[in-house]
Amino acid sequence: MKERLPYGVSLLGALLGLIFGFYSTLDYSAHLDRRLHDVHCSFIPGAAPTSEAEACRAAMYSPYSAFFKDAYWGGIPISLFALGAFSFFLGFAAYLLISGSGAPKRSRLFFAVVGSTPLVVSLTMLTISLTQLGSVCKTCAGIYIGSTVLAIGAWWGAAVKPPTAPAKQGNVAPTLAMDGAPKDKPSPALGILLPIGWLAALGLLTLLPSLVYAAQVPDQRPYLGQCGKLKQASADKDKLLKLVTARSVRQATLFEDPLCPTCRAFHERLVHEDIFDKLNAELALFPLDNECNWMLDTALHPGACTVSKAVICGGDQSRQVLDWAYENQEQLSAAGKAGKDPLRAAIQQRWGPSMMNCIDTKTTKDTLNRHLQFAAANSIPVSTPQIYLSGQRICDEDTDIGLRYTLGQLAPELFK
Amino acid sequence: MNKWIGPGAGMGITLIVAITGLGVVSSSVSSAKQRLVTPVAEKPQVAVANQAEVGYCTPRFKEVLERVLHSCGLAAGEDRRGCKPADVKTFASISDEDFNELFTPLKQRGAVLMFDTGKEDLDTAAQKLLDEKWFERKGARYFFVVARASKTGTQAKNRALSHRRANSVMFHIKNTAKDDPDVDKKVGLLWLGNEFAQLSEAYCSWNNSRPDKKCDEEAINRSAFVSWVDCRL
């Protein structure tokens, strides 16, 4: 019995990995319709999707969630590979569980070795989540836990010594290992070929879901760039902030709110994908704060007007001020909600009193107003972030999982 | 136990799970594909950025402002710059009481710049108040300047003085907004003689550039009323 228990543990781990991988894949594929969807983000498999699954959304939109994002809109989600692999491990664990001591040593060793690969991948992804995304999504964590449980069971199983087989008596047939080789007379050819066969099966099963997915993924090209254009190049455009670098190759107009979490995530994606520095970017600040933005009845991001003014006052350092605002967004948002003074204190602490003097000038107020007037003159949607490539708007749905593919189609020079 | 049960069960489970998984993935992608080509019956309304539109922008108010815009050459496609102030009564098609009444809701938004008798120079307080109002644009598209001259004197003299006062305000605005080439498209100038829409003493309570000085009907009409107008026209 004790030789079976570890594989019961592995079976449970594989099942967990499979279930969470399944939900992750469905969340991803649902977005192929270019509509808004809630994301499953719970340790309880099958729990209803919520609209507050920011960590899972951030992971999903990140460059690390899928392969081949250049070739396919959204890429091939990494969870698909998990689905195939966990299917194999589930079956293999079931085989070892049922076979018990009858399973040959090589199958237990094989399982111990390959059963660790999901854990290796999970540790890599966990490190990326913590270091690059700053959060861990619960669905991903479910896969990590499943991988760990699977590996523990696999190692444990390999470490357990199976009971010694009783001496053969009379005309009792020799027991066969589950790979078909007589336990007491292992076939050398099968001994090598079977692990190779298992490995091939694992490889095939791991790749199969992604191949099916890639074959079916819809062509998004007809929908790209169908979300409008900037209508006017008014004089207010001259007031937008120019964020040009030596590597800038494509004109872009960005509408951002420094206290908007989606803007921060979008900005980080552009930076991580090495796109931001290749944009000849004009930044139009569009704070969703009714202190300066008349298009809102209430402030979605209190304090965003003040932080926007700080970005304007950054002058040559506007990019640094914007990066700082995004990096410290949670603290600045909390300060903004607490009132003007805490927010001003936070800005002054980092950028000094001269920044505060600049924020309070009429010129700065006028510049921010003209950013908003530019938005009004162009009748853009009241939402952030937005990106326009040479005046053509990139649809919201193309700024998340489809970002790299969309930019590759509309601005291939960004990836040269 | 039969030696094949374990491997057979393992393979069977793997195949069932893998095939089920493939089916679900395939179905999920197909269903997304179907939704992609199926138009959404009711797309959620998305707010669009626009100029401000506040409560006082009644149809009557907007109608008059529209006429003023055309008469002042502010409307798109107009080459002419400036108004025919003496004809305000004609183009506004409105009595002077009603005309002044239209601007009543702008009491908080606007301000009255006061002038010395017979003069068109903006004093420091008037300049400061004008700057203050200019930079309180918010979502407005047009800035209105309604200059007046005096309750007394000849009509011609008053019209000329009123015109100079309006120009004086415009000159200061242009100086303040040096980096805005579109000032001309934003500022609507009206200069009224003493024949139309004179202000009563009640307007002395409005925000003005000489709050500490004596204000009467004569003084309040030696003025230019300035305000951004938060209406979409």
Task: Render pLDDT for B166-203 as a digit per residue (tens, 0 to 9).
Answer: 999 999 999 998 888 888 888 888 888 777 788 888 89
Q: Among partner residues B7, B33, B50, which is closest to A178 by beta-carbon distance?
A: B7
Judge: B14–A87 Cβ closer than 8 Å, yes or no. yes
Among residues A307, A356, A370, which one has the least CA distance to residue B179? A370
Report the DSSP beta bridge partners of residue A11. Answer: none
| Distance in Å from the first CA to the final CA of chain B | 88
Residue A392 makes CB contacts below 8 A (sequence gap 6+) with A225, A229, A410
Judge: B7–A26 Cβ closer than 8 Å, yes or no. no
Judge: A18–B17 Cβ closer than 8 Å, yes or no. yes
Average pLDDT over residues B107-130: 95
- Name the more confident of A396 and B80: A396
Report the DSSP beta bridge partners of residue B225. Answer: B112, B146
Characterize the bridge pairing of strands A241-243 and A279-285. antiparallel
pLDDT at site A232: 73
Tell whether A234 lies on the interface with B, counting CB pairs under 8 A: yes
Q: Give the E-state strand segments of B28-177 in sequence order.
A: 111-114, 142-147
In Å, how far are A370, B53, B232 from B57, measured between CA atoms? 22, 7, 8
Check residue A326 and report its DSSP letter.
H
Find residues 169-228 of chain B whose CB sits inside 8 Å of chain A: 177, 179-182
pLDDT at site A185: 56
Q: To 10 degrees, what angle do helices A117-128 and A78-99 make?
A: 150
Average pLDDT over residues B112-131: 95
8 A C-beta contact, residue B113 and residue B126? yes
pTM: 0.82
d(CA A97, CA A14): 13
8 A C-beta contact, residue A286 and residue A300? no
Identify all chain B residues contacting A383, using CB atoms and an 8 Å cutoff. Answer: 46-47
Q: Tens of pLDDT along B69-112?
A: 776 666 555 554 555 555 665 665 667 777 777 788 899 999 99
Rg of chain B on CA atoms, in Å? 32
Question: Based on the number of CB atoms within 10 Å of its own CB, is B149 exposed (0-12), middle (13-18) or buried (19 or more)?
Answer: buried
Q: Which residue has the tokens 């594909």?
A: B33
> What confidence tier does A174 reach under pLDDT thresholds 50, 70, 90?
very low
Characterize the bridge pairing of strands A279-285 and B111-114. unpaired
Find residues 48-67 of chain B whose CB sits inside 8 Å of chain A: 48-52
Average pLDDT over residues A199-224: 95
8 A C-beta contact, residue A89 and residue A149? no
Q: Tens of pLDDT along B12-35?
A: 999 999 999 999 999 999 999 999
